[in-house]
Amino acid sequence: MKEKTPTSIFYVDDDVDDLDFFNEVATEINEPVSLFEEGDKLLQQLQNPPPFASVIFLDLNMPVKSGFDVLREIKATMAISHIPVFILTTSINPDDIKLTKKLGANLYIPKPTTIGGLKKAVKHVLSIDWNKFEISENEFVYTETKKTV
């Protein structure tokens, strides 16, 4: 029997508090998570597994390498371009939303203001088979009150 390949949620954000909140949510829902404070560190891990990323949550507003740059690199790299990427950011700028969709993000999630809201968003993302599911234009931005499936 083949050994199961270790997979994990990957999350990159320069805000340590947001990393802690995300880690708390992942622990509560019993999902392995790898946390990164810089886009370059995430990209290095993606190129040198294990663990392997099953999904990536990506903040946009980071120093050195922005989430836009990280998303571009992920989608331009054949070996990792298939990994679903979810933007998790405080920005609700329509230009940011359009650009991330154009660059290949799977879903845009404005950062929830509560742990419960974050937990709901993460569970929602993990409940979808992203290999088969294509999100429509008007469902690209996730809100707690609107289901995408």
> What does the pLDDT look like over 21-78, one tens digit per residue?
999 999 999 999 999 999 999 999 999 999 999 999 999 999 999 999 999 999 999 9
Q: How far apart are CA 148 and CA 134, in angstroms?
A: 10
What would the two tokens of residue 75 be? Answer: 């989608």
Q: Mean pLDDT check: name the lowest of 21-25, 62-66, 115-119, 142-146.
A: 142-146
Contact call for residues 86 and 101 (beta carbons, < 8 A):
no
pLDDT at res. 148: 43
Q: 68-76: which pairs have CB atoms within 8 A and are 24 or more residues apart? A: 68/99, 68/100, 68/103, 69/39, 70/12, 70/39, 70/42, 70/43, 71/100, 71/103, 71/104, 71/105, 72/103, 73/43, 74/43, 74/46, 74/104, 75/103, 75/104
Q: Tally DSSP H helices, then E strands, for the chain.
A: 5, 5
pLDDT of residue 149: 42
Per-residue pLDDT at 2 exceeds 80: no
Element (H, E) at 18: helix 16-28
Express as a percent the part of the chain with pLDDT over 90: 82
The C-alpha atoms of residue 53 and residue 6 are separated, in whole angstroms, by: 9
pTM of the model: 0.92
Q: Closest Cα partner for 107 from 73, 71, 76, 80?
A: 71
